[in-house]
Amino acid sequence: MKKILSKREGDFKMAVDALVLAGGKLKGINVENVSTKGMINLEGKPMVEYVIDALKECSEVGKVIVTVPPSVSLEDWAKKVDKVLVTDNSITENIYAGMSYLKSNGFLLVISADMPLITGLAIERFLKKCEKVEADLYYPIISRDEMDKKFPKTKRTYGRFKDGDYTGGNLGLIGSKMFEKNREFFEEIYLLRKSPFKLAQLLGFGFILKFLLGLATISEAEKKLSNLLGANGVAIISDAEVGIDVDKDDDLIYVGEVIRKGKR
Model confidence pLDDT, tens digit, residues 11-66: 444 589 999 999 877 777 888 888 889 999 999 999 999 999 999 999 999 999 99
Pairing of β 137-143 and β 171-175: antiparallel
Task: Look at residues 26, 24, 65 and name the one whose alpha carbon lies nearest to residue 193.
Answer: 24
Q: What is the pLDDT of residue 197?
A: 74
Model confidence pLDDT, tens digit, residues 89-99: 888 899 999 99
Instruction: Kindly give, in sequence order, each residue whose CB lies less than 8 Å from that of residue 242, ignoring residues fewer than 6 positions away.
Output: 115, 118, 122, 123, 126, 140, 142, 169, 170, 171
Question: Considering only 90-99, 156-165, 201-210, which range has the smallest mean pLDDT?
Answer: 201-210
Spell out the domains of the chain, with CATH numbers in brackets.
4-260 (3.90.550.10)
Tell me the three state secondary structure of residue 45. strand
More confident residue, 166 or 32: 166
